[in-house]
Amino acid sequence: MTSKENVVKNKWNEWSDSWYEKKRTDEVIAKIIHDPASAFHRTAYSMIQEAVPDLSGKKVLVPSSGDNHAVFAFHLLGAKVTSCDISEKQLEYAYSIANKYGWDIEFLCEDTMTLSSVTSNEYDFVYTSNGVHVWIHDLASMYKNIARVLKKNGVYMMFDIHPFMRPFGIKAGNHLMVEKPYDVTGPFGEVPTFKWRIQDMMNAIIVSSLNIRRVEEMYAEDGSFWVDDSTDKGDFLSEEELAGYCDWTKNPLAAIPQWLSITAIKG
pTM greater than 0.75: yes
The closest of 149, 76, 72 to 110, measured between CA atoms, is: 149
Report all structural domains of the chain as residue ranges with CATH numbers, in order of start. Answer: 3-266 (3.40.50.150)
Q: Give the mean pLDDT of 74-82.
A: 98
Confidence class for position 14, pLDDT limits 50, 70, 90:
confident
pLDDT band at 199 (very low <50, low <70, confident <90, very high): very high
Alpha-carbon distance values, 77 to 146, 213, 245 (Å)? 22, 23, 32
Residue 256 has pLDDT above 60, yes or no: yes
| pLDDT tens, residue by residue, 40-58 | 999 999 999 999 999 999 9
Please say if the pLDDT value at position 1 is more than 70.
Answer: no
- For residue 5, pLDDT beyond 80: no
pLDDT in tens, 147-198: 999 999 999 999 999 999 999 988 766 788 999 999 999 999 999 999 999 9
Write down the pLDDT at residue 227: 85
pLDDT, tens only, 96-149: 999 999 999 999 999 999 999 999 999 999 999 999 999 999 999 999 999 999
Percentage of the chain surpassing pLDDT 90? 79
**DSSP calls for the chain:** --HHHHHHHHHHHHHHHHHTGGGGSHHHHHHHHH-GGGGS-HHHHHHHHHH-S--TT-EEEESS-TT-HHHHHHHHTT-EEEEEES-HHHHHHHHHHHHHHT---EEEE--TTT-TTSPTT-EEEEEE-TTSGGG-S-HHHHHHHHHHHEEEEEEEEEEEE-GGGTTEEEETTTEEEE-S-TT----BTTTTB----HHHHHHHHHHTTEEEEEEEEE--SSGGGGS-TTSSGGGG--HHHHHHTT-TTT-GGGGS--EEEEEEEE-
In this prediction, residues 13-27 reach a mean pLDDT of 84
With a cut of 90, say whether residue 22 has pLDDT above it. no
pLDDT for 72 equals 98
Whether the CB-CB separation of 56 and 78 falls below 8 Å is answered with yes
Check if the beta carbon of residue 165 is closer than 8 Å to that of residue 258.
yes
Q: What's the pLDDT at 17?
A: 80
- What's the mean pLDDT in 212-226? 94
Residues 6+ apart with CB under 8 A from 223: 237, 241, 242, 243, 244, 245, 246
